[in-house]
Structure 1
Amino acid sequence: MDILLSVLEFAASYNSYTNLKLRMHHIPVERPPLNLLRQELAGTCIYLDILQKTTSEINSKKGDQLDNNVSQDESSSTVKSDSSLTERAEEKLVSFCGQVLKEASDFQSSMGETNNMDIHRVLELRSPIIVKVVKGMCLMNSQIFRKHLRQFYPFITKLVCCDQMDVRGAVGDLFSMQLTALLPQKIDVAPPSSFADRKSVGIALES
């Protein structure tokens, strides 16, 4: 994992928004710098997959241990070990997703109304990685997502207006799969039959 993360961090630093923006001046449109971008995307896929499986399977393992006739000491020791592994995986997962979202949202905010094609090309080149991370968050353990929602939410909302439609689509999926479940359930109100009823409903809604 550490080796994979080191390779991924190197590719990400080389492919950072700032570096790509500078290199756009020297690279023809028909020859984008794809090699390390592909490496970063492949590393992102593997890294997320490992962390997602680690944080999603531990809970089921705990449940299986409680169902089996395992000695209390062995069960307690295994649960502690699994809990420590889950915490480390959660920390790495949240840190990685948060970093990708922050960089993407910061770059999106800095674009403003600019028509600079180099900037739009940079976002286009980075979008597969953004999409992979956002789609990965759709499958994130819901308890972990809810726990760190305060950290994620400002970055997610900035990406709603992203120029890249595939990024918007991924954000829409994230809203549907993770955020919708956190909203209060819809309350159906029967249409008021009189002025007094309408007034009482209005007062209730205002309160």
Structure 2
Amino acid sequence: MGNMMDNLFLRNLTSKSKNRVSDDYVPSSPVQLPDAVEPDDKDEVESPLLGTVRGKCITQLLLLGAIDSIQKKYWSKLKAPQKIAVMDILLSLLEFAASYNSYANLRLRMHQNTDERPPLNLLRQELAALCIYLDILLKATSGYDANKERDLNSSQDVDTTPGNNSTPEEKLERTAEEKLVSLCEQVLKEASDLQTSVGETTNMDIHRVLELRSPIIVKVLKSMCFMNNQIFKRNLRDFYPLLTKLVCCDQMDVRGVLGDLFKAQLKALLP
């Protein structure tokens, strides 16, 4: 028993001495630190702009989260003017990101890149704002009977200006319809114009831009599948030429949801 305790004591003492040597060890030569990287002149020029954009993005993402929570929990409790105000705020947030992600700006940043990485963009922020905005517009127009309102206006002998005799809810529905149709037309027109230019040139930048923008196009097309059929029917003359140009789109996800849209909206219009 005594020999065992002596061995354990000796073993612990030996291990402690080794640890002490390793702790007190000092390298013979100092560690070589990497030289400080001098900032590039281009970075110095771009940093204020990128800092401003980054600050706006953080603020707008927080605002988007708050608006999304409000529209999911309290939308039915808001009054018509408050709902229109929320639409206007979302539209301004969407336009900020969309302008930064425009086709021209994306192609310009592609030429500035020296590698194969995607260009700087705010596509995630644009898509987040677009999803919330479309959700609100579809809810505001879900019960809108455009034909009924048109018949009522045509049967009146007095002044039938939409703003005179309409209720706040009717004004909300008309405003939401205008915003929804305008948004869909804008996204589809930009996509169809770029798709047309694909067949006229072999520039790979156009294909890359279309690929980057495809989630935005897909989201709009999916929302059009659930658009009020009366609204879709009224604007079919403007929608149809833009939709047919996307039939030959290289992006399979765009063509897939385009087929779903034809089944959901156009099939119902056939005799």
TM-score (structure 2 length as normaliser): 0.58
Question: Among residues 48, 51, 57, which one is paired with 2:134 in the alignment?
Answer: 48
Say if 2:238 is the partner of 1:151: yes
1:104 to 191, 205, 215: 191
Cα distance per residue 1:102-141 (max 9 Å; x no partner):
1100111111153322211100000000000001000000
SS of the equivalent of 2:142 reads helix
How many Å apart are 1:32 and its aligned residue?
A: 3.8
Report which stretch shifted further, 106-115 or 4-13.
106-115
After superposing on structure 2, the runs of 4+ consecutive aligned residues of structure 1 that deviate more than 6 Å are none
The equivalent of 2:248 in structure 1 is 161
Which residue in the other structure is 1:133 paired with? Answer: 220
Which range moves more in the overlay, 9-18 or 23-32?
23-32
Q: Which residue of 2 aligns with 1:172?
A: 259
Q: Which amino acid aligns with 1:153?
A: Y
The answer for the alignment partner of 1:3 in structure 2 is: 89
Q: 2:111 aligns with which of 1, 7, 25?
A: 25
Distance (whole Å) between structure 2 residues aligned to residue 117 and residue 58 of structure 1: 43
What is the aligned residue count?
166
Alpha-carbon distance in 2 for matches of 1:152, 1:112: 21
Distance in 1 separating the partners of 2:135 and 2:210:
24
Distance between the aligned counterparts of 2:215 and 2:120, measured in 1?
14
Q: Determine which structure has greater relative contact order: mean sequence separation of CA pairs < 8 Å that are 6+ residues apart, divided by chain length.
A: 1
| 2:167 matches 1:80 | yes
Contact residue 214 and residue 254 of structure 2 kept, 8 A: yes
CA-based RMSD of the aligned residues comes to 1.9
Q: Offset of 1:99 from its aligned partner?
A: 0.5
Distance in 1 between residues matched to 2:132 and 2:225, nearest whole Å:
16
- Unaligned 5+ segments in structure 1 are 60-78, 185-207
Q: Unmatched 5+ residue regions in structure 2?
A: 1-86, 146-165
Paired residue secondary structure (1:90): helix
* Percent identity of equivalent pairs: 71
2:99 paired with 1:13: yes
Q: Which has the larger radius of gyration?
A: 2
Distance 1:127 1:160, change over 3 A: same
Alpha-carbon distance in structure 1 between the residues aligned to 2:233 and 2:193 = 23
In 2, are the aligned partners of 1:108 and 1:159 still within 8 Å (CA)? yes
After TM superposition, give the deviation of residue 31 of structure 1 in Å. 3.7
Q: Which residue of 2 aligns with 1:192?
A: none
Q: TM-score, normalised by structure 1?
A: 0.75
Give the superposition deviation at 1:29.
2.2
Aligned partner letter, 1:124: E
